[in-house]
């Protein structure tokens, strides 16, 4: 069973700080990587996808992929209380999800 | 563009009863997924369809769960008979197949088995 691992948290950061979320995966042949945000009681919503090594930026979010080390991370700059949610990492087109990391941004 | 539609949003049944969930994908999305999400865990893939064919159903408990996707559009997931441990949120997601493989989720169905 291909695995995706995330620190379950909770990860607490002060408002305005950078939140760093990490994800590691076991399938070395993985090609597609996705970050989702899930608020309590809601379904996951796509934040961004990344397919190539390096950084991909979208607004306050930056995804970083390192296939050699088999990890993908998500940075959230200028964190806001509204960013408090569970962040899910998913890998490949069959979307194997990690357990999620709970982020709490403190005002 | 309309999103992924699911119904019902909530369902309460007794153990050993049957239940069915329905999903309508984003127009043009050929790939459809059903997930089970237990509280505090990440979504677990139950079955993946490409058009009306099954790509992966390795984690579907086939003794009680079944799913179909007639005509490659709408899909139905059924549980018969339900067990207490089936209490979860059932998520439907759909994705395109050319270039962009991003998946979008419906609102989910919260199932409680008593």
Q: What is the pLDDT of residues A33-85, one digit of tens each?
A: 999 999 999 999 999 999 999 999 999 999 999 999 999 999 999 999 999 99
Percent of chain A whose predicted confidence (pLDDT) is above 90: 85
DSSP-based three-state secondary structure for B30: coil
| Torsion A34-B85-B106-A11 (CA) sign | negative
The CA-atom distances, in angstroms, between B1 and each of A31, B4, B28, B49, B84 are 28, 10, 11, 22, 37
Residue segments in chain B with a per-residue pLDDT below the cut of 50: none
Region of B55 on the Ramachandran plot (φ > 0 left; ψ -120 to 50 alpha; else beta)? alpha
pLDDT for the residue B80: 97
Residues B6 and A87: their CA atoms lie apart, in Å, by: 23
Chain B contact set for A100 (CB, 8 A): 41-42
Give the mutation candidate from B103, B106, B109, B110 for the A interface (greatest A CB count, under 10 A): B103
Residue A18 has pLDDT above 70, yes or no: yes
Residue A65: how many CB atoms within 10 A of its CB?
19
A3 touches chain B (CB under 8 A): no
Residue with tokens 């919503």: A45
Pick from A80, A74, A82: nearest CA to A101: A74
β-bridge pairing B31-37 and B44-50? antiparallel
């Amino acid at each position: 069973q291909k695995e995706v691992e995330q620190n379950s948290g909770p990860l607490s950061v002060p408002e305005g700080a950078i939140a760093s979320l990490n994800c590691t995966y076991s399938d070395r042949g993985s090609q597609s990587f996705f970050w989702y945000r899930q608020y309590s009681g809601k379904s996951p919503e796509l934040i961004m996808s990344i397919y190539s090594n390096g950084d991909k930026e979208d607004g306050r979010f930056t995804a970083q992929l390192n296939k050699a080390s088999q990890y993908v991370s998500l940075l959230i700059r200028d964190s806001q209380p509204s960013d408090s949610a569970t962040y899910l990492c998913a890998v490949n087109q069959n979307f194997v999800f990690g357990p999620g990391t709970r982020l709490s941004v403190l005002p | 563009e309309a999103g992924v539609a699911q119904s019902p949003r909530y369902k309460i049944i007794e153990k050993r009863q049957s239940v069915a969930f329905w999903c309508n994908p984003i127009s043009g999305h050929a790939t459809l997924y059903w997930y089970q999400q237990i509280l505090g865990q990440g979504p677990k893939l139950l079955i993946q369809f490409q058009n009306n064919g099954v790509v992966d159903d390795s984690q579907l408990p086939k003794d009680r769960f079944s799913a179909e996707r007639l005509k490659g559009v709408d899909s139905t997931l059924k549980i018969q008979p339900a067990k207490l441990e089936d209490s979860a949120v059932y998520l439907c997601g759909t994705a395109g197949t050319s270039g962009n493989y991003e998946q979008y989720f419906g609102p989910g169905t919260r199932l409680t088995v008593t």
